[in-house]
Structure 1
Amino acid sequence: MRKTAILAISLLAAAALVTGCGSEKKDAGSAQAGDAPPSASATGEAKGSSSGKKGVPHQVVFEVGGTGAAKVLWNGNTNHFEEVTLPWTKTESMQLEGAELKVGVTVSVVPGSVQGPDGMLKPAPCTIKVDGKQVADNQDGKSAKPCEYKLKD
């Protein structure tokens, strides 16, 4: 049991480090009054550059199954880490822009541990759905890997 707990903590720490380098985009609705986007000349962008292009909006659904409470790390528009009540679902609308259109963005969810039928801790089951289609899972908690998917247009 101690080994499983150490594995779960290590997995969460590794995922936090990996996703810590993710994009910190603002939602359109999160801009504060008085915030103005920088002008093209201030950012060094020339008119007609591809960085202003936007892709199609995608609905990304993160799910973690189980019962009780668990810590969950997920990376969509921004990185999040919090304790949640299971089962848990989070839906985000994501729209790729600029260089993201070419390289994509990795979305992920790292579930915390839940108690299995044998009393041992195991990763909670997780899934990611994009536009209604399941694109990632951890085999109902049988895999210690997080659920992750490269979102591309």
Structure 2
Amino acid sequence: MRRTVTTTALVLTAALLTGCGGSGSEDGPKPAGKPSAKPSAAAGAPGAAGGDGPVSHQVTLEVRGTGSTLVYYNLETNKGEQVTLPWKKTATITLTTEAEKKAGTVVSVVPGSVTDGNGMLKAAPCVITVDGKKVADNAGADDKNPGSSMCEYTLK
């Protein structure tokens, strides 16, 4: 009885492994190869069709003025830090996917307050440059237009 159960278990195991292995080796690689080939082709096709690969930009965030202030920025990561002015942060941002190239990624800097010539607090001046070209600043920020105290740019 024990020998019969063991033999039956071995035969069933062999049959299952052969059945699974046989269909997997005949049918498995073909379906697996086709779907993986399609995404690779699809991922490469837009870049190949447009002739574009990854696109890199040198982005510089700058906060001008004197003294120290708190600066929040979104460059490679979101971060806030106490800095001594003038302050500058540069990074190379690489857009690799078609979605990133089309929709873009936002880079920004929110400067803290500094004292102006009249002793009043105001947002420190900020500038964003991309590949050496100024793309955003907060030169128009004032009491009537406080929403523009930050600098923001969508990098595409």
1:74 touches 1:109 (CA, 8 Å); kept in 2?
yes
How many residue pairs get matched? 108
> Which structure has the bigger radius of gyration?
2
Which structure is higher in RCO with an 8 Å CA cutoff and minimum separation 6? 1
Normalized against structure 2, the TM-score is what?
0.63
1:105 touches 1:151 (CA, 8 Å); kept in 2?
yes
- Cα distance in structure 2, aligned partners of 1:49 and 1:77: 27
1:125 touches 1:140 (CA, 8 Å); kept in 2?
no
Counterpart for residue 59 of structure 2: 60
Equivalent runs, 1:32-51 vs 2, <5 Å: 46-50=39-43
Normalized against structure 1, the TM-score is what?
0.65
TM-fit CA distance, 1:140:
6.8
Equivalent runs, 1:131-146 vs 2, <5 Å: 131-139=131-139, 142=142, 144=146, 145=148, 146=150
Where does structure 1 lack aligned partners over 5 or more consecutive residues? 1-44
* 3-state secondary structure, aligned to 1:139: coil
- Cα distance in structure 1, aligned partners of 2:136 and 2:54: 22
Q: What percentage of aligned pairs have identical amino acids? A: 51
Q: Which range moves more in the overlay, 51-60 or 81-90?
A: 51-60
TM-fit CA distance, 1:90:
0.4
Counterpart for residue 105 of structure 1: 105
- Cα distance in structure 1, aligned partners of 2:125 and 2:78: 20
Where does structure 2 lack aligned partners over 5 or more consecutive residues? 1-37, 48-52
TM-fit CA distance, 1:77:
1.5
* 3-state secondary structure, aligned to 1:117: coil
1:71 touches 1:84 (CA, 8 Å); kept in 2?
yes
- CA deviations 1:31-69 (Å, max 9, x no partner) are xxxxxxxxxxxxxx9212338965321000000011111
- Cα distance in structure 2, aligned partners of 1:50 and 1:76: 26
2:55 touches 2:96 (CA, 8 Å); kept in 1?
no
Question: What is the one-letter code of the residue matched to 1:49?
Answer: A
CA 1:64 to 1:140, structure 2 compared with 1: closer, same or farther past 3 Å? farther
- Cα distance in structure 2, aligned partners of 1:76 and 1:65: 17
Question: What is the one-letter code of the residue matched to 1:148?
Answer: E
What RMSD, in angstroms, separates the aligned Cα atoms of the two structures? 2.1
CA 1:64 to 1:78, structure 2 compared with 1: closer, same or farther past 3 Å? same
* 3-state secondary structure, aligned to 2:118: coil
Q: Which range moves more in the overlay, 143-152 or 50-59?
A: 50-59
